[in-house]
Chain A
Amino acid sequence: MRFTIYQESRQGGRENNEDRLAHCYSRDALLMVVADGMGGHYYGEIAAQIAVQTLTDAFQREARPSLMDPFLFLQKNIGNAHHAILDYSAAHKLEDSPRTTIVACVVQDNVAYWAHAGDSRLYLIRKGRIIGQSRDHSQVQLLLDEGLISPAQAETHPERNKVYSCLGGNHPPEVEFSRKTPLESGDLIVLCTDGIWGVSPGNTLVEALRNPNLMQAVPQFMQQAERWGGAHGDNLSMIVVRWEENYTELTQSAVSTQTMGLNEITTKLDEFGRNPNYKSELSDDEIERAIEEIRAAIDKYSFKK
């Protein structure tokens, strides 16, 4: 597999970040997950963390190095995540169980498989055009589908944040699966929360991703989205992957999994909690002293010429 990937989550104007995201890959399979813990529910971030962790843990167990059945994997583990959240709230006697949306995507053998519940979205972009998109599980989307409101009205509809499917709720989630979608070199897959798509007008996301340097393009775009979100804007999170099976287009930042062991998995998931603090802070003085010490050792042990 060959791809370039970028993931980032920002707090926006909120007091804490209830979005969680992760990607992990083995030699032959890639998993990406974005979850948006739901505001208004207690511990939204916990629900999101459980969801993301359930999927990545399962991936680490099952991708050896490929998944037997990616759709089955998504179905089973999204279900497990839902139950894990319910178990958590039962164990902690929470009045109202925490909830989260989820969108997860597996790429294996150049085929993408995705599933979602709620309004976190996946876009598939080919040659600068959106050719695939997940359909939000929201009232507004239903109204839109039935032609009762226009896309412009949907953008400002007061209930546009209400979703009817999520993990951790009283009803089992309604999980919607994509088709098996073969990828072409250069295809972009974007997973994002409503903090991103809810504020970006029209075609701005697609335009921003025309920049071939994702490591630049995505943070720039998120910066912009954060500004659109304003002082009290929602959390913003996104993962963008560019699929690059074409070996002639080597870019510096691409990840190649050819040299990975069969049972090796690389995971990029931030630790639970905010900003882990490192006990072992090294002061400037200590650095200087360490260098002095090493230089002294070099002098002492080297044969004077």
Chain B
Amino acid sequence: MSGATLAPAALAETRTPAESGALRAAVPRVVLGLYLLFLLVPIYWLVNMSLKTNLEINSGMTLWPQNPTLEHYRRIFTDASWYSGYINSLTYVALNTVISLAVALPAAYAFSRYRFLGDKHLFFWLLSNRMAPPAVFALPFFQLYSAVGLFDTPWAVALAHCLFNIPLAVWILEGFMSGVPREIDEMAAIDGWSFPAFFIRHFLPLVAGGVGVAAFFCFMFSWVELLLARTLTTVNAKPIVATMTRTVSAAGMDWGLLAAAGVLTIIPGAIVIWFVRNHIARGFALGRV
């Protein structure tokens, strides 16, 4: 303890209090700035590369594009095999988010409001699916969805991603719902509201932040996943992340095109983050802070 309190006193001898205070206030900002720089430089490099011609990429190191070109982006937006990848990805992500939330909302309500036979075991079983490595499920999913005729449709990927998104949505929503006082439910029952009417018209608005956060997480984990999405699709429902794994042509890697496709996958995530920026910290703590 004494060492920790002595250190500032020793500093104060050499600097005036105002100077050391300003210095100390600057340290966190510098650390944060350096860390954000570390996060942004690799992304900048990707954007930089997406705006260069392949000739420039392969001919040497340039810190910014010497002849900026939108050629790679134009190719993605005009070539159906590229832009349909984005549409496929967004389709199954949207389907998955809707399915996950629709079934997770009543379940989270049940977990937050009632005790019932086997509730703790059920909750653990659900969570254990969030912890199962997707690699374990790749082959059985391939066979299962082939057998039921859903292979190579957005539904296959959307349902497969439910495996880890439903448990997560239940977990987050349960946290948020437990923060709503139970008196509200009792008063609604006394006032004669039926359960569905109460749930939709009165309860949902109270946990709107939680629903937003849960939707954000469903979007996030479905959007970033590659292994299952690639395994369960071939042509018709091929997601953008799988399209990107095949940019090797006769002339070698098409780095510019790959970079442009990568930049375009960052944009939906950035938009979604902007919408939930005020809830994000609480959401990452799964509503449990």
Q: Do A and B come from one complex?
A: no
Which A positions have Cβ atoms within 8 angstroms of B? none
